[in-house]
Amino acid sequence: MSIRNSWIIFIKDMLMGPRTMMVLWLFVMPLLITFVIRLIFGGLIDPSPRLGIVDLGSSSIPAVVAELDEIEVTILDSVEILREQVETDDLDAGLILEEGFDKLVISGKFPELRMFVGGESLASTRVVLAVTVVDLVRGLAGEPAAVEVVTEVIGDGPTVPIEERLVPMLVLLSVALGGVFLPASMLIQERINRTADAVLATPVQVGDFVLAKGAVGFLLAFGMGVLTLLINGGFTRYVAGNLTVIAVGALMSVLLGLILGATVKDLQTMFAVWKSGGIILFAPAVLFLFPSIPGWIPKLFPTYYFLGPLYEMTVNAASLSEVYIDLIIGVGISAVLFAILTPLAKRMEMRLAIA
């Protein structure tokens, strides 16, 4: 294998590849899907915070809150209905004002201000509602409020907003499209157009050829993964760890793409394999949306071993030292994929020589 030969092919592909519709599609599709999902779940256009209030007395706070344009207020008659609507995510939070609340605040007493918080609500929404309520109570008291705010997250669901749980899926989509599709399609097109025959007739070996295609795919997959994580606010203070996780995912995807390109005969077959085998790639990302599912099930799928660390880093702010075991397994899976690729590349070279 010659690094120089691989470098020459790599430069040629980098200069010619961006002109193809395939590369444009690989760039645009993840960004478009990210935009749509973030739009739906509030990442780009945040909806007004939704606050429900149950007034057990005759407080003036509900009327004041109702006049605020920034908050959508719903007045309810019972605590049970309030709890139910917060639990089903019809409201972001619910506020309960006990009987005689205003008098207690004005007299300097310490009334309890109960607030239910929905597990699906955005952290920013919770802050806005909590600060607003405290400010209203301070205004009612005419001084810093003598009030204790007790928040209670209700419901058995996760407290992580769904748009945050979708980040690993968006990164996987970006990495898989660039890492699988691009190397596979380039290998297939080179064989169909017979340009691979001409290249391999020179001192270039099949290993040089495959390495160059893989390098192009890795660069695109890694770059798109970083960009997707960046625009979704997924980077944590462990930037090096985040980049390492994406690199492992890009490597795994590229090896899968090269295996696919070395085995299938045309682009139609490649798309058919992608459709049928996509569940294996995306299953862990889908399962992350349902945290009640036992944790061992996602581990049955190879892509978990970079998605799992990515999820822990982006959602739970884990460091690389906390997820390195899964990453090592991911590298081991990549080594197995490389071992599978090697004889397939040699077989492809033999088929081209015979043809």
The mean-pLDDT minimum among 136-145, 239-248, 278-287 falls in 136-145
Residue 325 CA to residue 158 CA, distance in Å, equals: 25
More confident of the two residues 93 and 48: 93
Element (H or E) spanning 169, and its range?
helix 167-176
pLDDT at residue 111 in the model: 77
Q: Which residue has the higher pLDDT, 125 or 353?
A: 125
Q: Say whether pLDDT at 214 is over 70.
A: yes
Structure tokens at 308: 């799992």
Strands 93-97 and 112-118: antiparallel
pLDDT of residue 198: 65
Q: Is pLDDT above 60 for 256?
A: yes
Q: How confident is the model at residue 45 (pLDDT cuts 50, 70, 90)?
A: very low
Rounded to the nearest 10°, the torsion over CA 316, 317, 319, 323 is: 30
% pLDDT > 90, the chain? 12
More confident residue, 223 or 237: 223
Across the chain, mean pLDDT equals: 80
Extents of the domains making up the chain: 3-40+162-354, 50-154
Lowest mean pLDDT among 22-26, 53-57, 113-117, 159-163: 159-163
Q: How confident is the model at residue 244 (pLDDT cuts 50, 70, 90)?
A: very high
* Residue 324 to residue 332: CA distance in whole angstroms: 12
What local confidence, expressed as pLDDT, does residue 282 receive? 81
More confident residue, 21 or 88: 88
pLDDT at 124 over 80: no
Specify whether domain 50-154 bears CATH 3.40.1710.10.
yes
The share of the chain scoring above pLDDT 70, in percent, equals: 81
